[in-house]
Structure 1
Amino acid sequence: MNRLSLLVLLTVAGLAHSIQYPCGGSCGYRVSQSPYRSMTYSYGNVAYDDDMTRVVGGVGAAEASWPWVVSIQHPGSPKLGHWCGGSLISADWVLTAAHCFDKIENVSLLYVVIGATQFTKPGLGAVARDVKQVVIHRYYKRVDYRYDVALVQLERPVECSSYIQLACVADPTLRVSNLKNCWIAGWGATTARSQDYSDRLQEAKVQLIDVKLCNSTGWYPGEIHPYNLCAGYPQGTIDACQGDSGGPLMCQDNDAEYWWVVGITSWGEGCARPKQPGVYTSTQHFYDWIVYNMRVHAIESAS
């Protein structure tokens, strides 16, 4: 057995069964709770007037308010460079959607912007990293967005700051359906028919919608996979939209200050339509896949 095979076996066998968070061992803390800087923002109900995937029905986010939300960018994108969203889940790994790479022939052209809220004024806390590799779920199918999950490894790790924090990935023990305070964020379109993306990160509060209802007649009959989540409102009006793909569906823990990334923005019929809420890939369902592939591909790329 060669050294690489031994390392892989040891890793899978039990050296690491969970995601390791290097930022002081913490994840999911927004700037007002960050050990790096004391800031205060209001995260309560707000009036919405915006977009979708870039968020429809949202508002501009405060600086560094979602410090794990990243922009995956492509030099050929006419949308301020923005291509897809993602969540920073370790110093060098981003969680996103597999369908973000359907039209990408050369991943080396991609780069990731971390720690920015506004593209035209990214600020001193923002950094950019080239992409080292992309790992797409082997069963992903574009035709129906099955297994729509992917990992992006950064060329170099980033350091945590008041602008850059790690997301907590929902683990198998979390009761996601019980979470009440849930939000989406992205730089996508802010109106359903818009061709432009938002310069500033948009945020919107959403409700988790029962999957059985979401999969029923008049909604998305039979189109929702067991590993999907639905979020938005039955009447529409607030949703993710084009450009928000790959970004997070985030819910605050019911008993703590930190936030969980429970879903990955995947698809939806139009934007903000009644009974057509956003559909998300459950991070909880793919937790083991995420852990396994981060470990194995990190070892392979280092060898």
Structure 2
Amino acid sequence: MILRNLFYCIFLCWCSPAMAIINGIEAEVEDFRSYVSIRAESPFPSHEGKEINACGGTLIAPRWVLTANHCWPAYQAVSNGGEPVFVGVNIGTDGFFEQKIQIVDYILAPAKIGHERVDAALLELAEDATEHGAIVANIFDGNLTNGTETTTVGLGQGLEGEPLLYYESVVTESALCDSPRVDFDELHDFCVGIPESTQRAGYGDSGGPLFIQGGPSGTEYQVAGIVKGGVKANATGIEETENIRYTDANKLRDWISAVTGYDMSSDNSD
């Protein structure tokens, strides 16, 4: 357990963008019932063994969650006979979940799609999350042109009972995320950020969803990206820029359909 907690601490502190959703705003949870939280025992002494959000995810089919490949330390125990791993679904206004469902399997995205790396994974759940009030997110199929407005939601490394937060930004030039200090795959990733903004994703938000409003009404929150990570401001420091890297969910549509057997072209909203 000590080694596992140490591994989580290293993972959470160094594999995610920054501390929580910085300057995030409390979200209207009814708009984001597709949000999923991967739960883990906190490695931080101040939390006294309580449960925290290790990574985010999106309900992409009734029993499947889309998250980041690099969140693997949070769910790898599923395959090695370790302790059960659960996700929280349908978060309420009080920060508590309607249900926690065990992860029974996971499938990492192919190491390469074409010739590029892809930071995505699918988690199979033990039961249908929609039976507990969660909804399946539709995938945004529009163009991710510069200036497209986005909404990212997450819990950071929050304890249960803390609110879901969001921040709004825009798609920006890939060059701002394509740094030699980070992994950026221009074919399957995109960059989001506003110059000098003080809002961005943070620790524990990796794997969580970026939404763009679309659908027939133009107001449905459709998942467009998976939080991949921040961008280092320099080679030696820990400071990061205002830009965040995201994996393009639309580029994964065929793979998701093949794994889940779910028709990703259907309208899943309720």
Question: Structure 2: which amino acid aligns with 1:183?
Answer: T
For 2:123 and 2:157, locate their aligned partners in 1 and report how far apart those are by CA, in whole Å.
23
Contact 1:55 1:189 (C-alpha < 8 Å) held by counterparts: no
TM-score, normalised on structure 1? 0.65
Tell me what 2:145 maps to: 177
Aligned match for 2:250, one of 284, 295, 302: 284
Give the TM-score taking structure 2 as reference length: 0.72
Aligned-pair distance for 1:243?
Answer: 0.5
Deviation at 1:169, TM superposition (A): 1.5
For residues 53 and 129 of structure 1, the distance between their equivalents in structure 2, rounded to whole angstroms, comes to 26
Instruction: Find the residue that maps to 2:156 and give its secondary structure.
Output: coil
For 1:153 and 1:66, locate their aligned partners in 2 and report how far apart those are by CA, in whole Å. 20
Structure 1 gap ranges (5+):
1-50, 191-195, 297-303
Asked if structure 2 preserves the Cα contact closer than 8 Å seen for 1:75 and 1:110, the reply is no
**Residues 201-248 of structure 1: CA distance to partner in whole angstroms, max 9, x if unpaired?**
111111111214443xxx668852121111121214111011001100
Q: Which runs of 5+ in 2 are unaligned?
A: 1-16, 263-270
Runs of 4+ in 1 over 6 A off after TM superposition: 271-274
Q: Tell me: CA distance 1:53–1:170, structure 2 relative to 1, closer, same or farther (3 Å).
A: farther
Closer, same or farther: CA 261–63 of 1 in aligned 2, 3 Å: closer
Match of 2:36 among 63, 70, 79: 70
- Confirm whether residue 224 of structure 1 aligns to residue 173 of structure 2: no
Equivalent position of 1:111 in the other structure: 86
Q: How many residues align?
A: 228
Aligned partner (choices 130, 140, 144) of residue 159 of structure 1 = 130
Contact kept in structure 2, 1:236 and 1:275, CA below 8 Å: no
Return the alpha-carbon distance in structure 1 between the equivalents of residues 147 and 64 of structure 2. Answer: 25
Q: Please, which of 217, 226, 230 is the counterpart of residue 268 of structure 1? A: 230
Amino acid at match of 1:130: Q
Using a 3 Å threshold, how does the CA distance of structure 1 residues 76 and 273 change in structure 2: closer, same or farther?
closer
Q: For the residues of structure 2 that align with 1:183 and 1:95, how far apart are their CA atoms?
A: 17
SS in 2 for 1:100: helix
The whole-number CA distance in structure 1 between the counterparts of 2:103 and 2:57 is 13
Report the CA distance between 1:164 and its aligned residue: 2.0
- Residue 256 and residue 179 in structure 1: after superposition, are their counterparts in 2 closer, same or farther (change >3 A)? farther
Distance 2:61 2:67 in 1: 13
- Please list the CA deviations of residues 151-187 of structure 1 after superposition, one character each: whole Å capped at 9, or x if unmatched: 01110112357x522211134xx22227733100100
CA deviation map 1:22-49 (0-9, x unaligned): xxxxxxxxxxxxxxxxxxxxxxxxxxxx
Which of 116, 122, 144 matches 2:96? Answer: 122
CA gap of 1:116–1:222, structure 2 versus 1, over 3 A, is closer
Aligned pairs for 1:1-303 (under 5 A) are 52=18, 54-75=20-41, 78=44, 80-102=51-73, 104-107=75-78, 109-117=84-92, 121-122=95-96, 126-139=98-111, 146-159=117-130, 163-171=133-141, 174-177=142-145, 180-188=148-156, 199-215=162-178, 223-225=183-185, 226-253=187-214, 256-269=218-231, 275-295=241-261
Distance 1:268 1:202, change over 3 A: same
The alpha-carbon deviation at position 257 of structure 1 amounts to 2.2
Structure 1 86/104 Cα, relative in aligned 2: closer, same or farther at 3 Å? closer
Task: State the secondary structure of the residue aligned to 1:286.
Answer: helix
Give me the CA root mean square deviation.
3.3
Q: 1:84-116: per-residue Cα shift (whole Å, max 9, x none)? A: 100011111110001111365412621011001
8 Å Cα contact 2:56-2:208 kept in structure 1:
yes
Query: Offset of 1:280 from its aligned partner?
Result: 0.6
Percent of matched pairs sharing the same residue: 24
- Please list the CA deviations of residues 111-148 of structure 1 after superposition, one character each: whole Å capped at 9, or x if unmatched: 01100146x7526xx111111111112317xxxx9311
CA distance in 2, matches of 1:160, 1:88: 12
